[in-house]
Chain A
C-alpha cells in the first residue's frame, strides 16, 4: 500500500535564494549602476540649481521653506527611480527571461517580492546619498543668498528635528516610488507604457491640481494622490498642509502597496 504525501513547505522557503538571484541579476547589469548614479547626481544638481536661483534680499520677508527648496531635486530623482524600478521587471518580458526566471522559481509572488526588495534596497541607499548631497548643497549655497538661520529660516542641519523628518521622509518616499513603479510594471509589462503611467501618476496630479478651482476637490487631490508623500519635506507652515507629513507618506505607501499587490496578482493569474 503506497501513500502519496503532498510535500508542504512553508511559504518563505526559497526566499533567500530568490533574493540572491534577483540581487545578482540587478548588480551584474550595467544599467542600474548608471541609473543609481543619475538619481544621486540629478537630484543634487536640480536641488543646487533651485538653491542658486533663489535669493532673499536683505530687508525683505521671504516665505521660503529652505529644506523643501534644497530637496527640489527629488521631483526629478523620482523619475529616474521609476526607470530604475521599471526596467528589471519589463526587461524580463522583452528578453523572454521571465520564462527562465519562473521555471527556476515557480512561486511567482515571491519572485516579485524578492525583486522589489532588491531594487528598493538599492534605491534607498542611492536616495540617502541624494538627499544628503542636496542638504549639503543647501548648506553651502543658501546662507549666502540671504537664507540664514539668523533670519528665521529652517536650519539645514540633521540635528534639527524637522529637517531630519524631511530627509528621512524623502528617502523613504523614493523607496516607495520604486515599489509603486514595480507594481505597475508587473501589471503592464511594457516599459514605455509603464513609465508613461508611472510618471503620469507622479506628475499629473500636482499639475492638474494647479488648475482645479474647486477647493474641496483641490484638497482631495492634494491629500490622496501618490505624491502626497512629498508633504514630508515641509518644515514651515505645517498647519496649512493638505495632509500631515507622515500621513502623506502613508498615502504614498498605500498606493505603493496597492500597486505591488495588483502586480503580484497579475503575475500569478496570467501566463508569463
Chain B
C-alpha cells in the first residue's frame, strides 16, 4: 500500500487513448448482440456464394471435332490454349513466310495493300467451308507485316511491326504490348515501309511513309531469344464480330472467321540469313483458332502475297475467343446480392440508434461524435471485410472448378492478381459498408438510406449492362461508387484483343486501382458529410 502517494496515471490509460478502443468495443458489442444483423451477414455470405456459383457455372458446353466426329461435352471441349511469355493465355495463329536470322540483322519491306474477307456470322455457311459465304472487307485488327520470333511454336516470344485494318501501323511484342505508329490504312498510293532490326535481345521497329524518312515506333526487350531467330512476313485476321447494343440484355453478337491478305515488295535483308529461301506455313492452326489453316503465300518477282487467318494477341473472354472462356472473377457475380444485405445491416447499424433514442445514450457515453462515427465505421468495415473475404474465397474455390468441369476455359492469371481480386473484392465490400454507415448517419432514416446506398452501388452497373449505350454506361462506371467493381477485373482490357468490352464480361472502363480509388473518394466524401451533420445537428 502506498497511501498518501499520488501515482500518475500510466500513459496507456489516458482517457483519449483508451476510449477509442472502448468505443470500438461498445460498437462491436452492439453489433454482435443483435441476432438479426449477425444472421443477415451469414445470409449475405451464403447468397453471394450460391448466386455466384449459379451464374458462373451451370453451362452445358458441347463440341464436335469435325462434322461427323462424336459429340463431346464438358472438359473434353476445352482446347489447349498456348501460354505467352508473361504467363497469360494467348491466341497465336498466323501465316508465316520466314527465314532464319542468325545473330543481329534487319529486314525491311514495303507493304502496298492489306485486304480481307470476313464471314457474315452465318453458322450454316461456315460449316460448308472456311471461306464459304464470306464478304469483302478488312476487319479492324487484321494484321500484315514483319515478325521476329523465337520459334514457330504458339506462345513464343516475338516482336512484330505491322499494318492493320483500322488502327494504322502498330508495333506489338509478347502479346500484351502494343504501340501505335503511322496512322491511316495502307493502299497502293500510300504504301508503308516497315523495318525490324535485332540487336542482341532488343528488337526495334521503324516505319516510313516514303522509304527515306524513318521513325522509331518502339523497341522490345525479348528475354531468352535464341541466337538464331525466325523472321519474315506474316498475315492474320481475327474473328469478325459485330455487336448491336440494344435493350435489356440484348447485345446481339455476330461472329465468324476472317482472312487478311497483305502484299509486300522491296524485301531487303541485312545480317546473316543462312537459309536463303523463303518457306511458308500456318502457325498455330487448330481448334483453338477456328478458320485458320487456309493461309498461303505467292511470290511473283519481288512481290509477296501473304494471306492468313487467326490472331496474335492475348486471349480474353467474350466472342473473340474460339471456345467459351471465363475469367477468374466470374464466380463473384453474386456479390451484388451480398452487398444489398450488407448495406441494409450497415445502414441500420447507424439508423437503429435513432429509432429508440439510443443515440442520446451513445453520445452521452462518448461525447466526441466523430469518434462514435469512426468506431461504427471501423466495426462495420471489419465485419463486412470478413464476410466479403469468406464469400469471395468460397465462391471462387467452388465456382472455378465447376466451370472448368463444364468445359469453360478459365483464363490463367498470376497469383498476385488472384490475391488482388479476392482481397480487393472484400475491401470493396468493406468500403460499401462504410459508405452505407455514413449515408445512414446523414439521412437517419432507414428506408431512404438503404435506397440511396443500393441505388448508387447497384443501379449504375444495372443501367450500364442493360439499357444504356456503351459510352454512356462507361461514364456511369467511371464516376459513381460502382467504379469500385473494377478491382475485380483480372484480365486487363487490351485494346488489340478483339472482343466486346462489357462490364458483364469483366471489363471496366477504369483500371482496377483507379476504380477502387473512386469508391474510396466517395466513402471519404460521405464520411466527411456524416461527420459535419452529426456535429451540427441535435441528436
Contacts and interface: CB of A to CB of B under 8 A. Distances in A.
Interface of A: 50, 53-54, 62-65, 68-69, 72, 75-76, 79-80, 82-83, 86-87, 90, 94, 190-196, 199-200, 203-204, 206-214, 217-218, 222, 230-231, 233-234, 236-237, 240
In the A-B complex, the 4 residue pairs with the closest CB atoms: A53-B472, A192-B446, A196-B344, A211-B333
Contacts of B91: none
A177 to B, nearest CB: 13
A206 B249 CA distance: 8
Contacts of B463: 50, 72, 75
Given A69-B467, A196-B341, A206 B448 contact: no
Nearest to A53: B472
Given A192-B450, A200-B340, A217-B58, A206 B455 contact: no
7 contacts: A75-B467, A87-B447, A90-B447, A208-B55, A208-B334, A210-B466, A213-B326
A193 B344 contact: yes
Contacts of B248: 206, 222, 230-231
B402 to A, nearest CB: 12
A237 B250 contact: yes
Interface stretch (B191-199, B256-264, B347-355): B347-355
Contact of B462 (A193, A194, A203, A222): A203
B245 interface: yes
A209 B447 contact: no
B450 A50 contact: no
Contact of A83 (B247, B448, B458, B462): B448
Contact of B465 (A90, A190, A210, A234): A210
Contact of A53 (B334, B462, B468): B468
Interface of B: 51, 54-60, 244-250, 252, 324, 326, 330, 333-334, 336-337, 340-341, 343-344, 347-348, 351, 355, 408, 445-451, 454-455, 458-459, 461-463, 465-469, 471-472, 475, 503-504
A68 B247 contact: yes
B56 A54 contact: no
A208 B51 contact: yes
Contacts of A75: 459, 462-463, 467
A196 B340 contact: yes
A212 B403 CA distance: 12
Contacts of A200: 337, 340
Contact of B455 (A76, A192, A207, A222): A76
A211 B504 contact: yes
A86 to B, nearest CB: 6
Contacts, number: 148
B454 A79 contact: yes
B340 A237 contact: no
A237 B246 contact: yes
A72 B408 CA distance: 34
B245 to A, nearest CB: 7
Contact of B447 (A69, A86, A214): A86
A204 B336 CA distance: 7
A222 B330 contact: no
A63 B459 contact: no
Most buried by B among A76, A87, A192, A214: A192
A167 to B, nearest CB: 16
A192 B249 contact: no
A192 B459 contact: no
B468 to A, nearest CB: 6
Given A75-B462, A217-B58, A237-B247, 16 more contacts: A50-B467, A63-B246, A75-B463, A194-B447, A196-B340, A196-B454, A199-B451, A199-B458, A203-B454, A203-B458, A203-B459, A206-B249, A210-B503, A211-B330, A213-B326, A214-B58
A64 B469 contact: yes
B455 A79 contact: yes
Contacts of A87: 447
B465 A53 contact: no
Contacts of A190: 446
A83 B451 contact: yes
A63 B247 CA distance: 9
Nearest to B455: A79
Contacts of B408: 213
Contacts of B355: 94
Contacts of A79: 451, 454-455, 459
A69 B245 CA distance: 12
B474 to A, nearest CB: 10
A41 to B, nearest CB: 14
B454 A192 contact: no
A50 B244 contact: no
Contacts of A230: 248
Contact of A211 (B55, B454, B469): B55
B155 to A, nearest CB: 27
B336 A207 contact: yes
